[in-house]
Amino acid sequence: MKYYIEDKEFGKIILTTNTRAKRFVMRVVGTEVHITIPLGVTQKLINLDYKIDTDVMKLELIEGNRDCFFVNRKEGQCQIVCPPHTDFSQKQEWLRKVIVEELRIQAKVILWNRMFQLAKRYGFKYKDLKIQTSKTRWGSCSATNSINLSVYLMTLPSHLIDYVILHELCHTVHHDHSDAFWALMDKVTEGKAKSLRQELKENYRTEL
């Protein structure tokens, strides 16, 4: 997962968690500082620098001029407006719950629509779809072809969201990870199934 920080001295800093990283690695790309972090080292501090910025979902915290929190929301975009001089150290758990709920609201539109589109395009049939807050799995498919998707898919780029959805749709045909399953995955991802799987595994995790 990638996080973005704007620093007055260093400019834009991009933090990336990586399951294979054993130590912190920093490199400069143009005017940006890229830092790779071993998975599980720390959670992202939620304050006015916090952002989710993908081609599917944009969420940010901004300072308002009222003495209460409120949300500006439209499809694919969300602003959490905070009172002036908010003490974020006292609001971390509450803000995480608010952000997860915003992801859920967006997911009920965006993920539902994308699931329907991909199933129709490739001729898959599924029983139903539920959006859950799983932190250990991006998705799952039951023996009766009921599909669950993690709300944290909303933090991924669209091509990896499609990969996860197609993965679960393929499980409606093959309830295993056999050669036949991966052959079907390759068919619906234009031969990119395992490279997409590797990209997802190495760069993203299912929590804030």
Q: In sequence order, what DSSP letters do the residues of 142-204 get, joined into one string?
A: -TT-EEEEEGGGGGS-HHHHHHHHHHHHHTTT-SS--HHHHHHHHHHTTT-HHHHHHHHHHH-
40-86: pLDDT as tens digits: 444 678 999 899 999 999 999 999 999 999 999 998 999 999 999 99
Instruction: Check residue 206 and give its pLDDT.
Output: 67
Task: Report the distance separating Cα 83 and Cα 12, nearest Å.
Answer: 25
Amino acid in position 126: Y
What pLDDT was estimated at residue 136?
82
pLDDT (tens digit, 9 = 90+) per residue, 3-32?
666 665 556 777 776 655 655 566 777 777
3-class secondary-structure state, position 111: helix
CA pair distance 195, 203, nearest whole angstrom: 12
pLDDT of 77 reads 92
Report the alpha-carbon distance of residue 177 to residue 159 in Å, rounded.
Answer: 21
For CA atoms 108, 151, 115, 76, give the dihedral sign: positive
Alpha carbons 193 and 25: distance in angstroms, whole number? 28
Cα(153)–Cα(5) distance, integer angstroms: 21
Place of tokens 């539902």: 112
Name the percent of the chain lying above pLDDT 70: 83
pTM (predicted TM-score): 0.77
What pLDDT does 36 receive? 72
58: part of which helix (H) or strand (E)?
Answer: strand 58-63
- Collapsing DSSP to helix, strand or coil, 103 comes out as helix
Chain mean pLDDT for the chain:
87
**Higher per-residue confidence, 108 vs 37:** 108
Q: Is residue 149 within 8 Å of residue 168, measured between CB atoms?
A: yes
Between CA 42 and CA 40 the distance in angstroms is 6
Whole-number Å distance between alpha carbons of 41 and 23:
10
Q: Can you tell me which residue has the tokens 């915003």?
A: 102
Q: Which residue has the higher pLDDT, 130 or 10?
A: 130
